[in-house]
Amino acid sequence: MKRIILKSKVHGAIVTDININYEGSLTLDEKIMESANLIPFEQVHVYNITNGERFTTYIIKGEKDSGIVCVNGAAARKVSVGDKLIIASYALIDEDKISSFQPKIVIIEGKNKIKEVKEK
């Protein structure tokens, strides 16, 4: 049996921009993506800490070290610039491998700078 397990989490990212006219997705600083083991077009769940909204979209690579967190398309209506987000991705893991699996947790501070990267 396989179970759906947290693979990556970015905690505390601040929305820097919104673009309603874009086709859809979330643009994220490439350095944050790399630190969280996220790849372009990977599905993510976004939890808005500020207003409680939740949505599913996919990641687009933003400029490295830019601090960009831009929510695009229809999902842009669920956030405002300055909102604090949790961005999470999940993976199917064989049950016998779960005990050795470690998700990547990236803690963000200030202007979307990485404070800490840990494997739980």
pTM of the model: 0.95
Tell me which of 58, 66, 80, 89 is the catalytic residue: 58
Which token pair is 81?
A: 């610039």
Q: Tell me: the pLDDT tens digits for 83-110? A: 999 999 999 999 999 999 999 999 999 9
The yes-or-no answer on residue 25 being catalytic is yes
Work out whether strand 84-94 and strand 2-14 pair parallel, antiparallel, or are unpaired: antiparallel
Tell me which of 25, 35, 89, 100 is the catalytic residue: 25
For the chain, how are helix, strand and coil distributed in percent, rounded to 5?
Answer: 15, 55, 30
Which token pair is 99?
A: 């005990």
Q: Tell me: the pLDDT tens digits for 15-70? A: 999 999 987 799 999 999 999 999 999 999 999 999 999 999 999 999 999 999 99
- Which residues make Cβ contacts (< 8 Å) with residue 17, sequence separation at least 6? 27, 68, 69, 70, 71, 81
**What domains, with CATH codes, occur in the chain?**
2-119 (2.40.40.20)
The yes-or-no answer on residue 99 being catalytic is no
